[in-house]
Chain A
Amino acid sequence: MRWPIVSLGLLLVVSLTGKLLSQPVDATVSRDATEHEVTDALMARGFAPDGVEAVSVDGFYRALVFAHPACGALRAMAVPLNGEGSEIVRQVATTSERIAYVYDAALLSDVPVMRATVRESAIRLAHAIGWSPRNGRVSLATLIGDELCLARAAAPAEPE
């Protein structure tokens, strides 16, 4: 009768150790990481940071403003992957602007909720057991601007 107790005890120790060593994904940390990534990508394409616009009163939703000498202003927002912030983004955009969601090195017109949620959850799990170098995200980058600026954002990075 001892082996079940010993097995459960061992399982408890191993599983709890794994939990204590894991790194949970925080929405704000994920947003900041996404913002850093999109900032680097836009700066590599000739855009320069030009301020931050607060979008929600709690400060979670905000738009990073970028300027480009050839096309003007472009805004970038990190929004939740599940699409709950899509309408907020649509209301931030003016009638002359277009919205593009950046995921998996592609510019998409809609949030890829199903694909991205499943994929990022799998990456999070793989990271937890040491199979993936990066942790999964809970946010993705959104670009708001005119056709010209979005085309520049989608173009290959400019050589230094």
Chain B
Amino acid sequence: VIARALALAPHPLDRGRDDAIDQATRDTPLSRRALLLGLYVLGMTNGAIGYVIGQPSLAVTVASLATINLIVLLAVLAGLRLAGHVAPVGCHRADLAAGVLCALLILVPSGRISWAAVGLLALYSLVAHRDDRFAVAAASVFLALAFKQSFGTALMALLAEPLTIVDAVMVSGLLDLVRPDGIVRVGNVITAPDGYRLAIMLGCSSLHNLSIGLLCWVAITRSVRPAWRRADGRTVVTIMVATVGLNVLRMTLMGFGPAAYDVVHGPIGNTVFDMAVMANALAITLWGFRDALAHR
């Protein structure tokens, strides 16, 4: 049903490719499109439920829907739309084996594992279905989603201290420029001459925000243009630099004292920052896309 619904709207770049697919392969009991779509939907539904259950309150969940999770939702829709255009050829044995493995992982009662299952299926599709640009594009979006929701979190847990120290080095460097009154940094803790201390924690790390910015870029770019291009690299680097810059600027503002910290780190400050990250990623993505179109 989902496959049919999403396949109703033809993709602008899907130039009559489906016509070339032999009718016999369309009539196979389970198509690659249906398998991928079904498992992506299943994995993401489980991941989303796991995420909501893990939130401290309904208010936090609703607040996150307005910013970060808006990008996640956008990526989910983009990924499903792309997966809806995967060639409806019959599944190979390897596809079925990958599907069964993914299904078993989804059964584990953990939202993160469900996202990891989506990521592993996307990784498989990226390699095994590389002749199908829509499968590759959908897999790119789902891999980025899985990185933000699962793989990235695991990586950050293992590398928390070095990651926060890198951020602290950048923040103390910037603070030194704007308040040259003797900022001292030890590890991920920055101390001002008046004794005010700012500890950079994992939730504020640049890697966390990078995954959001890149997810936004992948979702939009692959939706409009499924195939990868060399010029994409420039846009990715620009998004990374701008996102890290925004994050470092935000943490530097927190370093001005308890009053500034309360404003920047409070609920309003957090929402404004999340929106800034989203707008920044969106603007650079659109700029990069327009640039690429101009070259055509």
Interface residues of A (CB under 8 A from B): 1, 3-5, 8, 11-12, 14-16, 18-22, 24, 26, 56-57, 80-88, 90-91, 111, 113-114, 117, 121, 124-125, 128-129
Contacts and interface: CB of A to CB of B under 8 A. Distances in A.
B163 to A, nearest CB: 8
Interface string B27-52: 00110001100110010011001100
Contacts of A8: 38-39, 42
Contact of B110 (A12, A22, A114, A117): A22
Nearest to A24: B54
A26 B53 CA distance: 11
Interface of B: 1, 29-30, 34-35, 38-39, 42, 45-46, 49-50, 53-54, 56, 103, 106-111, 113-114, 154, 156-158, 160-161, 164, 186-189, 197, 199, 201-202, 258, 261
Contact of A80 (B39, B46, B160, B189): B160
Contact of A12 (B45, B56, B111, B261): B45
A3 B30 CA distance: 9
A147 to B, nearest CB: 23
Contacts of A87: 161, 186-189, 199
Contacts of A18: 107-109
Given A84-B164, A125-B108, A24 B46 contact: no
Given A22-B53, A129-B109, A90 B187 contact: yes
Nearest to B265: A58
User: Helix, strand, loop or mixed for chain A's interface?
Assistant: helix
Chain B contact residues, majority secondary structure: helix
Per CB-CB distance, the 5 closest pairs between chain A and chain B, nearest first, are: A87-B187, A18-B109, A82-B160, A22-B109, A24-B54
Given A87-B187, A113-B161, A15 B42 contact: yes
A146 B261 CA distance: 34
A83 B205 CA distance: 14
16 contacts: A4-B34, A4-B35, A11-B103, A15-B46, A15-B107, A15-B109, A16-B45, A19-B53, A22-B53, A84-B160, A84-B164, A86-B161, A88-B189, A111-B161, A117-B158, A128-B110
Contact of B107 (A1, A14, A114): A14
Contacts of B202: 80, 82, 84
A83 B160 CA distance: 6
Nearest to A124: B110
A22 B161 CA distance: 29
B276 to A, nearest CB: 22
A57 B56 CA distance: 19
A18 B46 CA distance: 9
A4 B110 CA distance: 24
Contacts of A22: 50, 53, 109-110
A129 B199 CA distance: 36
B37 to A, nearest CB: 10
Given A4-B30, A16-B46, A81-B157, 15 more contacts: A1-B30, A4-B29, A4-B35, A8-B42, A11-B103, A26-B56, A57-B261, A80-B202, A82-B156, A85-B199, A85-B201, A88-B189, A113-B161, A128-B109, A128-B110
Contact of B161 (A4, A26, A82): A82
Contact of B188 (A24, A84, A128): A84
B35 A15 contact: no
Contacts of A83: 160-161
Contacts of A113: 158, 160-161
B42 A11 contact: yes
Contacts of B110: 19, 22, 124-125, 128
Q: Which of A19, A21, A26, A84 has the most CB of B within 10 A?
A: A19
A19 B201 contact: no
B158 A24 contact: no
A33 to B, nearest CB: 16
Given A4-B34, A87-B187, A91-B189, A19 B50 contact: yes
Nearest to A130: B109
Given A88-B189, A91-B189, A129 B161 contact: no
A49 to B, nearest CB: 26
B199 A88 contact: yes
